[in-house]
Amino acid sequence: MQNPSPLPAAEKQPRSVAVLGSTGSVGQSTVDLLRAHRDRFSVSVLTANKNAALLAEQAKELGAGLAVIADESFYPALKSALSGTGIEAAAGHDALIAAAGMGADWTMAAIVGAAGVESTLRAIQQGGTIALANKESLVCAGPFMMEAVEKSGARLLPVDSEHNAVFQVFDNDNRAAIRRIILTASGGPFLRKSRAELDGVTPEQAVKHPTWAMGAKISVDSATMMNKSLEIIEAAYLFNLKSEKIDVLIHPQSIVHSMVEYIDGSILAQMGAPDMRTPIAHTMGWPERVETNGARLDLAQTLNMAFEPIDIERFIAVKLARQALGAGMGYPTALNAANEVAVEAFLAGELKFSAIESVSEQALQSINFSAISDINDIFAIDRDARKLAVSAVEALK
């Protein structure tokens, strides 16, 4: 990716902030940082999907101008909770997209899954700095997103700890010297289990990540390694790299978040405690630094690190992601959509953990679409892939 232009030195007034998905895991970490730096940021917009109570609490605490709940059935609860505060309440898809396009100086795009694609694109089209936690935006619509960045002059800063780590040590001015980037993966809670042992895995077991505190969906994705697989696709678009220049290593301690290897043999790594407040804070202050109250590494105590190659026969999601990336735009969209359906079915007790990747694989093999000309074609592929995935889930019950 191109190095975004730094903020002008004269820009010292509070920066306006929009948090899309403020009640999720990344959203709550963002709110925690905003709470600690009220003098530097002014919150204009907060959005959530269904958690009206927490959204109202956040909006009142941070003095937001607007709170939007995507699910309209929760609008009465939100409006009641904000009555008399002067904070505007709104609801529904159109209100969410309008809020994303209000042109905040800094927007956290943290809506989970494909549901966040349209709002992220709208925020990018308005310019400003976009802190990208919604990897699915690039997985599903990478070329459209990057084209919008180019047209609007937006600054797109990665929030995923791995991509943020790469960003911090990636020499854009000397790209020819970069041999590869190395994304690290914890391996999730079932790293040492064979595929035969995965049939009996429960949702409660799958969401207990050994090092990171995350939401249910991303925790399951970490356990299947689909999260890392989607990150390969995200990295390809963010850093304009081919699949063969993006490697993955298992690193259970989650201390080294990613690395960049150069042609002279140097490997530059970014390290930190497994706390999402670190990469979020990096994007909030960039090109300056924002202090966090998160965990710190004590190198004398924590520098016990191990790395190992990923077994793509054990974690077939990685193989699927590389196939989708190689096949071109549309296939990554289908992969993500099918995975979302499969994970939802698993969390609902309707699908075995070991069958999640099979649903995605079947959708990739069955999806059929013509040329892609605009973002609406991406949404159509997403819908078709979900239908295929639902049929696959039914067949595997």
Task: Write the CATH number for 350.
Answer: 1.10.1740.10
In terms of DSSP bridges, do strands 41-48 and 15-20 run parallel, antiparallel, or are they unpaired? parallel
- Pick from 32-41, 148-157, 287-296: least confident: 287-296
Q: Which of 101, 132, 158 is the last residue of a domain?
A: 158
Is residue 114 in some structural domain?
yes
What is residue 214's predicted lDDT score, i.e. its pLDDT?
Answer: 77
Q: Which tokens in the block code for residue 99?
A: 């809020």
What is residue 9's predicted lDDT score, i.e. its pLDDT?
Answer: 41
CA-based Rg of the chain, rounded to a whole angstrom? 20
Q: State the average pLDDT over residues 298-326.
A: 89
Is residue 19 in some structural domain?
yes
Is residue 25 in some structural domain?
yes
Q: Name the residue with tokens 């042109």.
A: 103
Please report, rounded to a whole number, the percentage of residues in the chain having pLDDT higher than 70: 96
Q: Which of 158, 183, 200 is the last residue of a domain?
A: 158
Q: Which tokens in the block code for residue 269?
A: 């790594």
Is residue 143 in some structural domain?
yes
- Name, of 9-13, 191-195, 245-249, the range with top average pLDDT: 245-249
- The predicted-structure confidence for 6-36, as pLDDT tens digits, reads as follows 444 435 689 999 999 999 999 999 999 999 9
Whether 358 has a pLDDT exceeding 50, the answer reads yes
CA distance linking residue 89 with residue 122, whole number of Å: 20
Q: Which of 136, 158, 180 is the last residue of a domain?
A: 158
Of the candidates 15, 50, 338, which has an alpha carbon nearest to the alpha carbon of residue 155?
A: 15
Mean pLDDT of the chain: 93
In this prediction, residue 1 has a pLDDT band, given cuts at 50, 70 and 90, of low
Q: State the average pLDDT over residues 100-120.
A: 96
- The predicted-structure confidence for 203-223, as pLDDT tens digits, reads as follows 899 888 877 777 889 899 999
Domain range spanning residue 128? 15-158
Query: 50 near 75, Cβ under 8 Å?
Result: no
What is residue 382's predicted lDDT score, i.e. its pLDDT?
Answer: 97
In this prediction, residue 128 has a pLDDT band, given cuts at 50, 70 and 90, of very high
pTM of the model: 0.91
Supply the CATH number for residue 153's domain. Answer: 3.40.50.720
In this prediction, residue 340 has a pLDDT band, given cuts at 50, 70 and 90, of very high
What is residue 2's predicted lDDT score, i.e. its pLDDT?
Answer: 52
Query: 314 near 195, Cβ under 8 Å?
Result: yes
Is residue 10 in some structural domain?
no
Total tally of structural domains belonging to the chain: 2
Q: State the average pLDDT over residues 336-341.
A: 97
If one compares 366 and 1, the residue with the highest pLDDT of the two is 366
Is residue 386 in some structural domain?
yes
In terms of DSSP bridges, do strands 308-309 and 256-262 run parallel, antiparallel, or are they unpaired? unpaired
Extract the runs of DSSP E, i.e. beta strands, from 147-251. 155-158, 178-185, 246-250
Q: Which tokens in the block code for residue 336?
A: 């993500």
Is residue 51 in some structural domain?
yes
Is residue 218 in some structural domain?
no
